[in-house]
Amino acid sequence: MIVTFQDLIKNRPPWGGILIWYLRLIALLLLGGGIIHWARIVGFMPWRGVWFWDMPVEWQTATVFFAVLDLVAAIGLWLAVSWGTVMWLFRALSQIVMHTAFADVFGRRPYEISFYMITIAIYLLLLYLMERENRST
């Protein structure tokens, strides 16, 4: 029975398992994001009051780009394959660049940038802990 924090640490699953479940959580978020992007493309919902066909070409391009990339990355993360992680990191870094270097076109979104930076930092921490655990056994 887990009573104290030390008991929780001693009885936790391996870091590799925690990393896989973390990536699957991110995959679910990406799956939801991809579905929302596709809903915008096919005309089920507008984005900030603007329908897809009325958006500037830059926004349309970004919407299609992330609609495809979100779903591909979600599948790769759920399967826990290396290309899924690469696609997710590429997607997150694309969003960061989009809202910093091209903020005049796509707008500044500091909370979204912070979210991506935090999720990447958690991923790197879990990866480090998993590698350290694998080396010690």
Q: pLDDT digit string (tens) for 12-57?
A: 788 899 999 999 999 999 999 999 999 999 999 988 889 999 999 9
Number of domains forming the structure of the chain: 1
Is residue 94 domain-resident?
Answer: yes
Confirm whether 55 is domain-assigned: yes
Inside any domain, residue 6: no
Instruction: Kindly state whether residue 41 falls inside one of the protein's structural domains.
Output: yes
2 pLDDT above the threshold of 70 = no
Is residue 46, in this structure, part of any structural domain at all?
A: yes
Range of 96's domain? 15-136
Could you read off the pLDDT of 72-86 as tens digits, one per residue? 999 999 999 999 999
What is the C-alpha to C-alpha distance for residues 27 and 49, in angstroms, rounded to an integer? 27
* % of the chain beyond a pLDDT of 90: 81
Average per-residue pLDDT for the chain: 92
Phi-psi region of 13 (alpha: psi -120 to 50; beta: other; left: phi over 0): beta
- List the single range of 8-12, 66-70, 103-107, 125-129 with lowest mean pLDDT: 8-12
Q: Is residue 118 part of a domain?
A: yes
Q: If pLDDT is split at 50, 70 and 90, which confidence band does 10 have? A: confident
- How much is the pLDDT for 92? 96
Which string of DSSP letters, residue by residue, matches 102-122?
THHHH---HHHHHHHHHHHHH
Let me know if residue 10 belongs to a domain. no
Q: Band of the pLDDT at 8, cuts 50, 70, 90?
A: low
Say if 100 falls within a structural domain.
yes
Full-model pTM: 0.87
Burial class of residue 44 in the structure, from the number of CB atoms within 10 Å of its CB (0-12 exposed, 13-18 middle, 19+ buried) = exposed
